[in-house]
A and B are shown apart, each in its own frame.
Chain A
Amino acid sequence: MSVIAPNFKLSEFIKSLLDNIFWIILLLVLIGIPAVMMVLFFIEMPVIDGELLTPFLALTWLADPSRILPVIKAFMATDIFRVMAFPGFGFAALLAAGTIFVERKMLAKLQLRVGPFYCGKFEGILQLMGDGLKLISKEIIIPAKADKPIFWAAPVLFVAAAAAFVAFIPVAPGWVVADVEMGLLGVFAVIGFFPIITILSAWSANSKFPFIGGIRALFQMVSFEIPLILSLLGVVMLTGSLNLSQIAASQSSFPWIVFLPVGAIVFFITMLAELERIPFDLPEAESEIVAGWLTELSGMMYGLVQLGTYLKLYAFAALFVVIFLGGWNGPMVVPPFPPELLEGIELGPVVAGPFPGLPLFDQAMLNGTLWFVLKTVAVIFFILLPRGVFPRIRVDMLLNLGWTKLIGLAFVNIFIALGLLYAGVLGPGGLQ
């Protein structure tokens, strides 16, 4: 008999576990497998290397690499892979999770402490997983007088908007989820959603502190969107395109930050404000308004908003890289794929291969991704750094900065771009 749970009996616990397993297996056999088979009968299976893929053939993948590699390659060409895994959500979420860990460790080193330390044996590497489990297991409390549908929807919408932002970012040549001609305009449109979602969440909570926080966030985002858009116009003029892939490709010889440093600085400051990071974290100023517009969010709703915030952070850093730092462009450091693997390797009497489908990624894509990730991580580092150095500023100082100084500097940047264009230094007939 335990003190904590006096009615606990091991036999009943095991029986309940077995019951659960029994029902799961029964439902799977009776409903799950027939449903899967029905779906498989009706969908059109792909043809790989002149061979129709059937569910029975799929089982042979596990044993034969020459079959699985083309399938993987075919899967990587699909849209669902791009949206969910590589240039899209999965890749961004991985970098965002890394950002949270690096932020905590870096800030800890700056403040003469150790940060997350115990979870996961080595330097608290599993701390994030622990935090996520804690957030999932917490109860979600909704205020009694909240507007419940909107209050529920706001965190989901926030993550969705952040993920939509991620979709515009080209990671490597040809590797982008949504390669639209008006890409930069699309980015501005998505950024325009964030204040709406914030004020909806804040207002629907029907509480004073979230309301004040939401109003502050609205002020901040709306007044910094104008310098944000203006600061990017210089690059658009010089490139002559709104397509983010073309903007990145146009910087193969030099990044735009060399010619437009003013625009880069303005964009960086507005980026900090849009991300609500210190010194511009007024909407979440805890000593004034508890946690701002996040006050009434609990459990995984808060976790979702945090995920969205860090996805947004990654997306802004990536946008900075694409527009000012040359995106994927960089010296070729990735070695070419070894040709022996394509033809097959002699291992004594046996010849392994050739493996159809190799290489999975071409050299340019790997190199581009490497440079893109390196630059993005560097920009993220500089976004995180002010948190250890600056206190929070005040609303009036923030609006003064946004409406007078930054807009003025953004116009200066536009005139620099125009001057370069008309002098013929850059643009058509210029350096490139």
Chain B
Amino acid sequence: MTFTLPPGLALKKVDERIMTLNVGPQHPGSGHMRIIVQIDGDYIVACDPDPGYVHRGEEKMAEYRNYITNIPHLERPVIHDSCNVLYPYVLGAEELLGIEVPERAKYVRVIASELNRCIYIMYWLAIYGIFLGHSTMFMWPAGDRELLIDLMEKMTGARVTHAHFVPGGVRNDLPPNFEDVCLRQVNYFEKRIKEYAAVFYDNPILISRTKDTGILSRQDAIRYGTTGSVLRASGVDYDLRVKEPYDVYDELDVHTNVMKEGDSYARSRVPWLDMMESCNIIRQALQKMPKSGSVRVKLKPNPKTKGLESVYKRVESGRGSLGCYIVSDAKPEPYRVKMSVPSFRNLIALPNLLRGEKLGNMPSVYWSLNYWPVEADR
């Protein structure tokens, strides 16, 4: 009996020396995707990332729900970064519906989004640690994340999927005494993540393993369209919070962390520096935030847009620039919602980074791309 596989799945036998490895979808080092790796001895000769195992049709679902009920499911692609995933959609919906957001709500959004960025990066860092066989670096971020998750729970009522941002502001005002608790927790959190340098980032074995592996040059980083920490680790000074400030980021002093090396180590270090920057932003926002006032504009039950129009908004998420394109046709539901996600764009660099690398470098290079499989498939 003979059968032929679809062209994308057919694995060619090029040479007797070359072995094809299916890393994933059931593999401790792949996430919800498959990387088809061809190796010659210990060297990777070709690599074919195969995402799409967790496609859930979020964009199509958004066409059947109105602007408010879209919120809880559009944050599902990255539940650890749910505020940032929702941010461009909410900004776009506000522009379409013509809503002016109160000043205090903007600050609350910035605080929530920076806290969420830290929560996401801690999760990412935990997995980066265990990919390198460093189990302490898995447990420490996973535990210290709890500090910020508790803060988000106080703020929004939910530990992970917050559904906090709505067109017109945020769902609830901050609880009493939140500013003090937040400042204390964030200060402790910053002290804690600085200790990671001793056990992880300055570890000689880690440095010798990740330095000069998977180098993405500045030109290539721009040419492939990578964003976020991958782009900044390749020496491009690009951060949407500075370049295209949204909400109140133009009133805050945001520093962009850039590293020139473009290797796996730089890509793992930039998010860690970003977390400290987030702590700075949170402290500034807490100081400048109006102490009282409304945080939400009341909307009509089924708000409608004016006519056929479209809007594209993007924000800097934990992984890079995350855009949302909304087309409306004067109905309660959007005509089309398209999310332009950073994960998928960063993944494009993977085959070129892995070609010629050793098999032992595959997990560190793959995960240093700040790739989140669920977001890429959405």
Contact = CB atoms under 8 A, between A and B. Distances in A.
Interface of A: 107, 110-113, 208-209, 212, 278-279, 281-282, 285-290, 387-397
Contacts of B129: 391
A394 B135 contact: no
23 contacts: A110-B136, A111-B139, A111-B143, A113-B139, A285-B133, A286-B133, A287-B29, A287-B132, A287-B133, A287-B363, A288-B360, A288-B362, A288-B363, A389-B136, A389-B199, A390-B134, A391-B203, A391-B205, A392-B134, A393-B205, A393-B209, A394-B209, A394-B360
A395 B133 contact: no
A288 B203 contact: no
Contacts of A391: 129, 132-134, 137, 203, 205-206, 209
Contact of A397 (B139, B140, B209, B363): B209
Contacts of A392: 132-134, 209, 360
A385 to B, nearest CB: 11
A287 B134 contact: no
Given A390-B203, A394-B360, A395-B360, A287 B28 contact: yes
Contact of A394 (B131, B203, B358): B358
Nearest to A394: B360
Interface residues of B, number: 31
B135 A388 contact: yes
B371 to A, nearest CB: 14
Contacts of B359: 212, 288-289
B359 to A, nearest CB: 6
Contacts of A397: 208-209
B169 to A, nearest CB: 37
Contact of A286 (B28, B205, B362): B28
A113 B126 CA distance: 15
B19 interface: yes
A397 B361 CA distance: 12
Q: Which of A208, A212, A282, A288 has the most CB of B within 10 A?
A: A288
Contacts of A389: 136, 199, 203
Given A112-B143, A388-B136, 5 more contacts: A107-B135, A286-B29, A290-B28, A389-B203, A392-B133
A282 B360 contact: yes
B358 A396 contact: yes
Nearest to A212: B359
Nearest to B359: A288
Contact of A112 (B29, B131, B140, B205): B140
Interface in B127-166: 129-140, 143
Contacts of B197: none
B95 to A, nearest CB: 43
Given A290-B27, A394-B360, A395-B358, A281 B209 contact: no
Interface string B218-242: 0000000000000000000000000
A105 B341 CA distance: 41
A379 B130 CA distance: 26
B42 A395 contact: yes
A393 B360 CA distance: 8
A-B pairs with lowest CB-CB distance, top 10: A392-B133, A287-B29, A111-B139, A391-B134, A287-B363, A391-B132, A394-B360, A287-B131, A286-B28, A388-B136
A107 B136 CA distance: 8
Contacts of B137: 391
